[in-house]
């Protein structure tokens, strides 16, 4: 199946007044992630600049994994190898095969569109994103405007144009040249190889919406 067939269904059309028509804006990452020595993650919002209560992120997977024995009888050391990125990707992969529904997200049922999927996954880690892919592309740190896998890290957000109408599709980078996304009514949530010409040709920008700072 071609990339075009995979991604034939997109977000709501981008209006002529959309900021994506004039270019992609940039903000700092939305969240600083600080792994803690008890195996949890401290989430520190970076934008907007307000006073926040710092809270701990989802820990259920860590609580389970850190009690398992690693090879050689050694317990997994704190937050390794269970990185924050791996928690995000694990949650996203859990929705493989979910149905596609334009305008849908998992808050209202077991069906979603591309930006609803991205928003839902990151909301689970207290990273609040806008609803549409065009709006999501305006936040976070710009990583690259070309499909350069050497610059991407798992968890980066990828945005693609819809014909001549601006940004209309979004996915989450998994690493190794692949992304997970809500593709279309036929395929639902799937993992796609980004080396396909369609995605190379329609790629607009990659954004990073969190940064990981390890304690010294």
What positions carry a catalytic annotation? 114, 169, 181
The residue among 206, 115, 191 whose CA lies nearest residue 159 is: 206
CA terminus-to-terminus distance, the chain: 47
Q: What CA dihedral angle connects 115, 120, 122 and 123, to 10 degrees?
A: 130
* Plot region of 103 (φ>0 → left; ψ -120 to 50 → alpha; else → beta): left
Enumerate the H helices of the chain as residue ranges. Answer: 3-6, 60-65, 84-93, 114-123, 133-136, 197-202
Dig out the tokens for 88 from the structure. 């995000």
Tokens 């979603």 correspond to what residue?
Answer: 112
The length of the chain is: 216
């Amino acid at each position: 199946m071609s990339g075009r067939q995979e991604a034939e269904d997109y977000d709501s059309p981008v209006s002529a007044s959309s900021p994506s028509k004039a270019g992609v804006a940039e903000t700092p990452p939305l969240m600083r992630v600080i792994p803690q020595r008890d195996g949890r993650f401290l989430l520190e919002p970076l934008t907007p600049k307000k006073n926040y209560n710092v809270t701990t992120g989802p820990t259920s997977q860590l609580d389970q994994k850190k009690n398992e024995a690693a090879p050689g009888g050694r317990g997994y050391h704190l937050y390794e190898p269970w990185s924050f990125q791996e928690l995000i990707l694990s949650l996203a992969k859990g929705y493989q095969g979910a149905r596609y529904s334009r305008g849908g997200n998992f808050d209202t049922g077991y069906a979603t569109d591309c930006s609803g999927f991205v928003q839902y996954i990151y909301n689970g880690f207290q990273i609040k994103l806008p609803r549409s892919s065009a709006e999501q592309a305006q936040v976070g740190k710009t990583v690259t405007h070309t499909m350069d896998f050497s610059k991407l890290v798992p968890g980066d957000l990828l945005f693609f144009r819809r014909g001549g109408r601006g940004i209309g599709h979004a996915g989450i980078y998994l690493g190794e040249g692949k992304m997970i996304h809500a593709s279309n009514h036929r395929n639902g949530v799937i993992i796609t190889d980004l080396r396909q010409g369609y995605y190379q040709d329609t790629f607009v920008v990659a954004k990073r919406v969190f940064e990981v700072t390890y304690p010294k």
